[in-house]
Chains A and B, each alone.
Chain A
């Protein structure tokens, strides 16, 4: 199988949003995702991960540019205003 060029979309956001965002992402057509717990510091202060409401998650989705654009647009309009949210894409080459 030839190497496929795709985008890796990484979303850093609040742990309380996990279920809600997964519904959105699957609804937009993502076939899979990976979630890890995260902590750190940003414009919403230190997110220590020491308390359920104080924790962050990192959601990673691999997909084509159109899918990533749909997800970014949906999350921007629905969540960026009130929640800590950082999204970026990295080009990746799918090996299998």
Chain B
């Protein structure tokens, strides 16, 4: 099975948290690392996007966004009726799973690099496009028939929150700079990427170690959901990617995107839009369970699924 050693930094972080080491990544450094990762991924996507005629991508894009929007709609009834969770909690968790994780996606890209598998670089655009429908659907599910929403605040958070803002900004800059124009920035944004990702995973491990303990309190259902849901979404992504004629690498990345759950943009947006939902549940599931599952087991499984459906 394919394995990407960078995920071991996550283990190092989790162990430090569980063993109560005094290791701590200062908040300002964490902020800087996340800004770097978002910009680097955005730039990479923009450069790749410049290689394709945009008109050809619109049809595929609409299908991918429409299928992606199904994820929260499938997750919600599972949580609400099978898990008997409150409407607000079900909707908030559904939004987290419909939304995507940049770091999970980055681990997927580094694995493809290591395995030397090509992929459609424009898929990075969907890191931006899949975020909004999931969050909006989550809020509508939470508010259906009752209560008011601070739509203004929510939409501001969705579009101008730092993750979407930096990703989209990087995409635009990369698109206009093109492969040649971006060369002077290569060393910082592309060559160093994996090292920065390793540091970021270390910090995520530290944070996740606190969340794993919290998840234990909420029982087996949520833990099961946090593993079952990404697999279901990945199957949806694999079939969609294959049907749209994506390559093995592209199909794998789409499955990884669908399988990933947000733990940066969605928590902030949901805290504002659906304040009565308990953030410990959604972040516990997405960061404490789904994220580690995806980077250790999910990603190798999704690559295998993509190879399988392409008959290789």
Contact = CB atoms under 8 A, between A and B. Distances in A.
A48 B272 CA distance: 19
A89 B44 CA distance: 51
Contacts of B206: 50
B207 A51 contact: yes
A82 B27 contact: no
Contact of B207 (A37, A45, A50, A82): A50
A81 interface: yes
Interface string B196-227: 00000000001100100010000000000000
The A contact surface, by secondary structure, is mixed
Contact of A82 (B268, B275, B280): B275
A79 to B, nearest CB: 8
Interface string B273-298: 00110011001000000000000000
B276 A82 contact: yes
A45 B271 contact: no
B87 to A, nearest CB: 14
Given A81-B276, A82-B275, A82-B276, A52 B264 contact: yes
Interface in B147-182: 150, 153
A34 interface: no
The interface size bin for chain A is: 10 to 19
B28 to A, nearest CB: 11
B46 interface: no
B210 A53 contact: no
Interface residues of B, number: 18
Given A16-B268, A20-B153, A49 B275 contact: no
Interface string A42-62: 000110111111100000000
B267 interface: yes
A83 interface: yes
Nearest to A50: B207
Contacts of A79: 275
A49 to B, nearest CB: 7
B207 A16 contact: no
A53 B267 contact: yes
Nearest to A51: B207
A37 B283 CA distance: 21
A53 B272 contact: no
A49 B207 CA distance: 10
B138 to A, nearest CB: 15
A54 B263 CA distance: 11
Contacts of A50: 27, 30, 206-207, 210
Given A50-B207, A51-B207, A54-B207, 18 more contacts: A16-B268, A16-B272, A19-B153, A20-B272, A45-B214, A48-B210, A49-B27, A50-B210, A51-B283, A52-B264, A52-B267, A53-B267, A53-B268, A53-B279, A53-B283, A81-B276, A82-B275, A83-B275
20 contacts: A14-B271, A16-B268, A16-B271, A16-B272, A19-B153, A37-B27, A45-B214, A50-B30, A50-B207, A51-B207, A52-B268, A53-B267, A53-B268, A53-B271, A53-B279, A53-B283, A79-B275, A82-B275, A82-B276, A83-B275
